[in-house]
Amino acid sequence: MDPHGWRPVVLVVDDNKSIRTVIEACLEGIDCEVRFASDGPGALAAIEASAPDLVLLDVQMPVMDGFEVCRRIRAIARFRLLPVVMITGRSRGEDRVKALECGADDFMTKPFERAELVARVRSSLRLKSLYNTLDSAEQVIFALAAAVEAKDAATERHTRRVAESARHLGARLGLPEPALDALYRGGIIHDIGKIGVSESILLKCGPLDSDEQHLMREHPEIGANIIAPLHTGSNLQPIIRHHHEWFDGRGYPDGLSGVEIPLLARIISICDAFDAMINDRPYRAGVSVDQAVAILRAGAGTQWDPQLVALFIAELGAIEQMGAA
Ligand SMILES: [Fe+2]
């Protein structure tokens, strides 16, 4: 199921043996290991001993009901992202609400269709597989990136469009998968250093004075320092630090020029600038696509890598379609 050979573990928690057997039979077509617990305390002990990748949790059980089990799972920091699907015999709306309040990710009622169970298990395991690719520090960093976007509502969806267009250009250049992955992640978090820039500067209507400009220009270094301790950050750091370098050496923070600027940073720089130009900012309205293309052409060789500008313009149709999606 997983290209890295990951075989997920599903923990089925139900006091009724025949239900456990039915669920096991339903999961036969999914490449996973199925474990069982017959009550809440047994489930918590099993999760503590060896964390599963998904918990299918019956609501009505003696001793401790599924709601309480779910609350206790969520109370443990390292299990906050463990997917929990609650299963109940009742179809009462209040159970659904209570399940979500207890931190369940999904909810099913008995009797369930085999196809529905399989689909929900598959989708929960896909989510878990994505979580597994992020180390915990990276999860924090992505949360910080979301916080930066929240500080500046004008950048909403901006980072995702930058990420997608940068990945697209990287693929056109034939870059290997790890570089494409770095372009995507780097696109999302390239401005993470703005967390250290005050909102009065980020959201200022009108041009920044020289002190404000100086503070704004610190964001690439602040961002690079934020991700420095991250294992998976080593290929993101050059993107974050150098996304405001200019091809002619007049950018910041290090005044690098030409191919001294890391390739992935040169790609992000174009995607970032283009998306910023065509969208409104607090201090100015967005320009048309044609005007933005003209600005990119005019800046090819001074601000941006001319070959990459040409590639970006050639790929604009595909990039615009991604932005509209
Ligand atoms: Fe930036």
92 pLDDT above the threshold of 70: no
State the average pLDDT for the chain: 88
**Band of residue 4 on the pLDDT scale cut at 50, 70, 90:** low
Interval 159-165 mean pLDDT: 89
Specify the DSSP class assigned to residue 288.
Answer: P
Residue 216 pLDDT: 92
81 Cα: distance to centroid of ligand 1 (angstroms): 30
Query: Ligand 1 centroid vs 190 CA: distance in angstroms?
Result: 6
Mean pLDDT confidence for 159-186: 92
Dihedral through CA 196, CA 208, CA 289, CA 160, nearest 10?
10
> Residue 136 — very low, low, confident or very high, per pLDDT cuts 50/70/90?
low
As a whole number, mean pLDDT of residues 179-192 equals 90
Q: Please tell me the distance between residue 67's alpha carbon and the centre of ligand 1 in angstroms.
A: 44
Task: Answer whether residue 266 shows pLDDT above 90.
Answer: yes
All residues at 6 or more sequence positions from 300 whose CB lies less than 8 Å from its CB, including other chains: 306, 309, 310
Q: Which residues contact 244 (CB under 8 A, 6 or more apart)?
A: 217, 220, 251, 252, 253, 269
Distance 294 CA to ligand 1 centre (A): 21
What is the 258 CA–ligand 1 centroid distance (Å)? 19
Sheet containing strand 33-37, edge to edge, reads 33-37, 9-13, 54-58, 84-88, 106-109
Residue-level pLDDT at 306: 98
- Quote the ligand 1 centre to 12 CA distance (angstroms): 47
Which is higher by pLDDT, 96 or 301? 301
CA of 218 to the centre of ligand 1 (A): 9
133 CA distance to ligand 1 middle (Å): 25
**pTM for this entry:** 0.60
Q: What is the pLDDT of residue 230?
A: 74
CA of 146 to the centre of ligand 1 (A): 15
Of 172-181, 254-263, 293-302, the one with minimum mean pLDDT is 172-181
- CA of 280 from ligand 1 middle (Å) equals 16
Please say if the pLDDT value at position 229 is more than 90. no
Distance 242 CA to ligand 1 centre (A): 9
Which of these ranges, 166-170, 235-239, 282-286, has the smallest mean pLDDT? 282-286
Q: How far apart are CA 267 and CA 269, in angstroms?
A: 5
The residues, ordered by sequence, that sit 6+ positions from 283 with a Cβ below 8 Å of its Cβ are 204, 205, 206, 207
185 Cα: distance to centroid of ligand 1 (angstroms): 14
Give dist(CA 264, CA 127) in Å, integer.
27
pLDDT band, residue 97 (cuts 50/70/90): confident
Q: What is the distance in A from the centroid of ligand 1 to the CA of 161? A: 14
Q: Which residue has the higher pLDDT, 154 or 226?
A: 226
Give pLDDT, residue 1: 46
| Cα separation, 179 vs 227, whole angstroms | 17
Q: What is the pLDDT of residue 81?
A: 81
pLDDT at 156: 57
Residue 43's region, left for phi above 0, alpha for psi from -120 to 50, else beta, is alpha
Chain centroid offset of residue 290 CA: 31
Quick check: 144 and 195 in contact, CB under 8 A? yes
Cis peptide before 111 (omega within 30 of 0): yes
- As a whole number of angstroms, the distance between CA 181 and CA 187 comes to 10
| CA of residue 254 to ligand 1 center, whole Å | 14
Q: Mean per-residue pLDDT for 257-268?
A: 98
